[in-house]
Structure formats: structure tokens, C-alpha cells
Structure 1
Amino acid sequence: MLAALVLLPAPAMAQQKAANKKLYCWDQDGQRVCADTLPAEAAGMARDEISASSGMRTGQVQRALTPEERAALAEEEQRRQLDAMAEETRRRTEQAMLITFQDENELRRVFSERVTLVENSIETARYNVASLREGLVTLLRTAAERELAGKPVAEKLAADIRQRHAQLLYHQLLQRNFERQRAALDGEIEATLERYRALKSGTTAAAPATAAAQ
């Protein structure tokens, strides 16, 4: 293969290089921009990669996530982990409740980590809601002052207000979900303890009957 590359005529190599050349197209300030090199300011934007020879799209790159979007993804992942932990806890308590736990205190400790995680998630969500609300109030106040002064509200300011409002609604929803999880967890703990007591009582009652039969 090396020998073939060395013997490849210069025009053929130029054609191959041209065939591999790509164009980058992205939206910037409401306009479609295309170039054969990607400037630094466009590196985080969504873009299409197009073959310069065929004009066909060969790839697509999504825009970089904002810090708020990364935080939302992290919270969503935490929610999935909490759900997985809930399922695992239910499975464990049903399969090995009597064998594993000598008394109710040991059983309660199984739930302690989940309780801590949910309560921490609630506190984080409350902090985010308060911070986003404060920022939104500031943006709305700025827009109101401009309108009262007879000045137009800049498009960037209006876009920031819409974005902040959407983020606030999302984090309020997360907070309500975490609070529902916490309330449901109390019910789950009590139901599990009742189940444990019933199993324990049944085992205790079965022991004398087995001994009498022997």
C-alpha cells in the first residue's frame, strides 16, 4: 500500500484530497454560514458536515450543551438512579427479608441511603428554583424598566427571559417529583415494615407447630 501511494500520480493525489475535503455549515445570527474551515466561535454550535465534491451531507454535530442543560441531564440521571435503587431495595427485601434482618432497625437502615439521596435532591431542586426565580425577576425588572423608559426590549434579553422561565418550570417540576418520591418512600417503608412483621409473625407461629408435629 505504501508503494502504491508513492507511485500515485500527483493529479490523482490532488483529486483524492479534494474528494475528502469537507464544508461546515451552521446557523449564526439568523443566517446560514458555510466554510471549509470551522472558526473557534462556531465550535460549540450545531453544524452539518458536507462533502465538497458531492455536495452531500456526510455528518452532523449537535451543539454543545449549556451548563443548565448539563445540570438537567445530571438531575435526570440521578432520578433514574433513585428509581433503580428503589427497585433493587424492593427486590432485596422480598427475597431475603427474614434471613438478612434480625429486627426492624436493621431493615430501616436499608432505606436510610435512599432517604438521604431523595432529601438531598429536594434541597438541590429548591435551591435551583430559588436561584432561577431570582434571576428571572431581575431580567423581568430590566425589561420593564426599558419599556417604561420608552426603549425596546432587546431580542437577547427577551430570549434570556424565555429560557430562564423554561428552566424555572423544569426545575419546579423536578422539585415536585422529588417531594412526591419522598412522601411515597415513607409509605413504602411502613408497608415493608408491616410485611416484615407479618412474615416474622408467621415464622414464629410456624416454629411451635413444626416442633409439635415432630
Structure 2
Amino acid sequence: MEAHRPATDLRIAIACVLALVGIPASAQTPPQGKPGSTVRCWTERGQTVCGDTIPANAAGSAQREINASGVTVQTFPRPLTPTEQAAKDAADKAEAARLAAQASQTRQQIALASTYASEDALRKAYAERTQSVHAAMVAAQSSLASHRLELSRALLRAANLELQGKPVNKQLQDGIAQQVGTVNTAFTDLQHKRGEYAAMDDELQQALQKYRDYKQNGGIAPAVPQN
């Protein structure tokens, strides 16, 4: 007497064949077996293989889960390599930072839009802030010029000692090194304030647009991007 193939094996075989040939679900005849049961399929040596259990050598490949009718019910992409995962983590972190900055800016603009009674009041507030930023920029320019002058004087003293054939003492050398660092810091601070001042007009226009949106929306604050 011929041995009967277990129903489970028959169900897996039929499901695998249907998955390989791509027969539409409407044209498939559900095999016998437990309702709702599924199998996993993966690629092995260029061939699609299906089974109830996943072998260890298939753990790193993309997989899909199919039901008894051969219909894919869930897919499982292959795990990322360490390099790919690191790149993804970096991209996710950069996107999170971008969204956080966008949300922070939007909250600030909404606060301005909901605080001032008119566009003129908002413009006046930005004019006052612009004056403050400009004053800070001028002060930074003056500070940089002062530090550069001090550095020039110290370098001149060192040059005169060299011309006289005298050694430049350690105190003067250390002072020059410190002044170089101070000049670099002052220059960076000035560049920052220049950038802040240059951006004031764009910030005002964005704040005005948020203000108009706020008023046109019946006093309801625009949605803040979620980070």
C-alpha cells in the first residue's frame, strides 16, 4: 500500500509551487490543512525554498510568509550589515535633528504670531532685535580689532628681541600663543554675529507669514512638526 504524504507537507509543497509560478489568488485552490496556517519562503542558491522552519543559513536573507493559498501575507527584509546599519542610524539622527530644529523654529514663530496684536507690532519688535544684534556685531568687530592690536604689539616685541640677538622669553611666547587663540575666538564670534544679523530679514518675513497664517486660521496655531 502506498504511503500517504502528511497533510502539512502537501500544504507546504502546494504553497511553494503557487508562490513560485505566481498564480493569482483568485485562481488558486486552497490545499487541505489547518485554516490560517502559513509557511516561510526564502532564497537559497538562487532558488525559492519554503518550509515550516528557517535554517540557520537563511537567517541573513529576505523572507516572506505565505498562507495555504500561496498568498504573501508578510515580508521580512534581510538584516542590514553593520555598515548599512551605521549609515541608517546616522541618517535617522540627522533627520531627527532637522525636524527638531524645524519644530523649534515653528514654535518660536507661533509664539511671536500669538503675542503681538498687529503686523506693525511684530515689525517693531524685530526692528528692536535687529538693532540689538547689530550693536552686538559692532562690539564684536571692536573686540576683534583690539585683540589683533595686542597680538601685533606682542609680535613686534618678539621681532625686536630677535633683531637684537636676544632670546624671546617663555612668558612672551606663551602670551603670543594665548593672544592668537583669543583672536581666533573673537573672529569666530564676529562671524556668528554677522550671520545672525544677515538672517534677520528672512526671519522677519517668516514670522510675518506665520502671523498671517495664524490670523487667517482664526487664531489657531499652525501644526508644529513632530520630531
The TM-score, its normalising length taken from structure 2, stands at: 0.45
| Structure with higher RCO (Cα < 8 A, 6+ apart) | 2
Structure having the higher helix fraction is 1
Structure label with greater radius of gyration: 2
